[in-house]
Amino acid sequence: MSLYERLGVPRVVNAVGPATRFGGVPLSAPVLAAMAEATTLAVDVEELQRTAGAHLARLLGVPGAYVTPGASAALLLGTAAVLTGTDPGLVDALPEVRGPRDTVVVQAAHRDPYDHAVTATGARLVSVGYPASTRRDELARALDECTAAVLYRPGRPGEHVGLHETAALAHAVGARVIVDGALHVPPADRLRAYVDQGADLVAVSGGKVFRGPQASGLLLGDPDLLAAVALHHQDMDVRDATWSRPGERDPRGAPRQGIGRSLKIGREQLLGLVVAVETYLEHGPDPVGRDELEVVMTALTGAGVAARWHHDTALDVTNLEVDVTGVDANAVLARLADRAPAIFVEEGAVWRGALLLNPMALLPGDGALLADALLTELT
């Protein structure tokens, strides 16, 4: 009997992909082994974070890297860092922002429910432009001596100010640029491109295409800002008399526990993500689940159900798009969820009459379960 069975938690068929609400994607044997090995020794976690970050930065070709418990956590920590720098007094004060720069500017099309990660720090979010377009002069007028950062989310449709120009405008007034690249890891060159175009910090997920622990992420970019991130995040239950930053004593002393302390990261996630990134860079994206979707495609098209392959450019993965035009899609989704095992598919295209099946978390045999369920609903 599995642990899930012992607890009475049934398995589900996850055709949504690397979604936290369904546990993310299966981990590879090397990643699981790294996480198990991590538990066998006590280490200085601050030193582990520092050395793991330096190793990951070299692998990814970026100036610096810091492991976080997810991309949303990376956004919060990155925002906190640009608000305070390494000033212990400013660090201790958050979410009361005592520095002169307290706003984060974002183009209207780049707004997102994950904005909470930014405003939780005490920063005030200023939206500019409109959902379909933002003009350069609109963004420029919103930037001033109170701007701490510009939040930038790539891949949004419409006519908006690009990253390179956004960075130029922000840096001209002394503000930073934070890229929310949670979904935009592959290829790895994309991460370097964000930095090359002027991003100061880039937040990404570790549990999606990297296939690392689900509760892992990365904040990439400026090493000085990442040093500030550590003050908000690391265990600061230390004595001022004996604490020091790497290589130096800070005459200002140590801050107390920072606003990011609740975003704890364990050595298991740190080493698991290191091995996941190494594996991804050596072997490329894992094709797991593609064979299962082939089973679904063959069954659906053989029965006359319209389906096609659809490439997700953000995750760099090919999904199966199933046409549900003229069908009550919400009722179909509810019945899929009522099956045993429950089946969940990506709902982001329901508005245009389609269901999307992502292969990344599919297990052997899931293709047959999906095919049977969809044929029952659509034929």
Confidence tier at 141 by pLDDT (50, 70, 90)? very high
Residue with tokens 């910090």: 201
Same domain, 218 and 322: no
Residues 263 and 306 in one domain: no
Q: Are 239 and 276 in a shared domain?
A: yes
Query: What is the number of other CB atoms lying within 10 angstroms of the CB of residue 324?
Result: 21
Of 244, 261, 283, the domain-final residue: 283
At 226-285, the pLDDT tens digits run: 999 999 998 877 777 777 665 455 666 678 888 999 999 999 999 999 999 999 999 888
Residues 15, 150: one domain? no
Number of structural domains found in the chain: 2
Of the residues 283, 318, 334, which one is the last residue of a structural domain?
283
Residue pLDDT, tens place only, 67-108: 999 999 999 999 999 999 999 999 999 999 998 999 999 999
CA dihedral sign, ordered 320, 326, 327, 330: positive
Q: What is the pLDDT of residue 314?
A: 84
pLDDT score at 11 = 96
Residues 295, 237: one domain?
no
Same domain, residue pair 219 and 94: yes
Span 10-49, pLDDT tens digits: 999 999 999 999 999 999 999 999 999 999 999 999 999 9
**Would you say residue 293 has pLDDT above 80?**
yes
Please give the residue range of the domain that contains residue 134: 28-283
**Mean pLDDT of all residues in 288-308:** 96
What would the pLDDT profile of 312-352 be if each residue is shown by its tens digit?
988 889 999 999 999 999 999 999 999 999 999 999 999 99
Same domain, 292 and 257: no
Q: Look up the CATH number of the domain holding residue 162.
A: 3.40.640.10
33 shares a domain with 9: no
Q: What residue ranges in the chain does DSSP mark as E strands?
A: 12-15, 65-68, 103-107, 124-128, 147-152, 176-180, 201-205, 217-221, 307-312, 317-323, 342-345, 354-357
Claim to verify: residue 77 and residue 157 sit in the same structural domain: yes
Same domain, 148 and 293: no
User: Tell me, what CATH number does 307's domain have?
Assistant: 3.90.1150.180
Most distant CA pair in the chain, distance:
74
13: its two tokens: 């068929």
Rounded to whole angstroms, what are the CA distances from 324 to 69, 93, 174, 211? 37, 52, 50, 30
Query: Do 197 and 237 reside in the same domain of the chain?
Result: yes
Last residue in a domain, options 222, 257, 283: 283
Which pTM was predicted? 0.93
Q: What pLDDT score was predicted for residue 245?
A: 60
Same domain, 188 and 324: no
